[in-house]
Amino acid sequence: MRRWGWTNERMDSRNCDDGSVLYYDSQGVMQVHDFGRGVSLHVRRGIMTLDFARQVIEDGERQIRNAGRYVLMVDGAETRMHTTEFREIMTSWFTTHEAARVHMLIRSRMLEMALNVANLMMGNTRARAYFNPEVWEVVGRDEVPSFVRRHLVIPSDLRVVA
């Protein structure tokens, strides 16, 4: 992963009791759930930086290797922003991985615009924005019947600022 130029020195992670993995730093938090069949749910809060992009890419590479596809279901309702570096790296990665697509639940028209720009850069519409949680969940269940929205769960002994 050195080709992307990140160090990941500020990122911490924790395996959770439900089998998910929680990634966090001073600006954001992301909980990753694996639903199998190439489908992952990323529940995010705060600011998604370059260090979070590394975790998304590692998850995507693993899902494509194991299932031949990567369907990234993102609950970004509590995401404040994605940094320029995050957006550029993720757009570049998705452009070179045709088996990957993203369905993002959002509240912000700015995030919707960022996804539309990513689609223009990729030359397709593999990045979709949703404002309605019920519609977004149906999309997830169409990919894998066990899909359900999960809320961010931060262990009580963990101090997360984001």
Task: Give 8's pLDDT tier (boundaries 50, 70, 90).
Answer: low
Instruction: Return the number of other C-beta atoms located less than 10 Å from residue 161's C-beta.
Output: 10
Q: Does pLDDT of 119 surpass 80?
A: no
The reported pLDDT for the residue numbered 142 is 98
Q: Which residue in this structure is represented by tokens 């290797």?
A: 65
Overall pTM surpassing 0.85 (yes/no):
yes
Q: What is the mean pLDDT of residues 129-133?
A: 94
Contacts of 110 (CB under 8 A, 6+ apart): 81
Contacts of 97 (CB under 8 A, 6+ apart): 60, 64, 70
Domains of the chain: 30-132 (3.30.750.24)
Q: What is the mean pLDDT of residues 117-133?
A: 80
Q: What is the mean pLDDT of residues 129-157?
A: 94
Task: Give 116's pLDDT tier (boundaries 50, 70, 90).
Answer: low
For the chain, give the mean pLDDT: 89
The reported pLDDT for the residue numbered 114 is 76
State whether the Cα torsion 17-130-86-121 is positive or negative. positive
Q: What is the mean pLDDT of residues 39-66?
A: 97
pLDDT in tens, 76-100: 999 999 999 998 999 899 989 999 9
The reported pLDDT for the residue numbered 120 is 73
Lowest mean pLDDT among 2-6, 42-46, 113-117, 131-135: 2-6
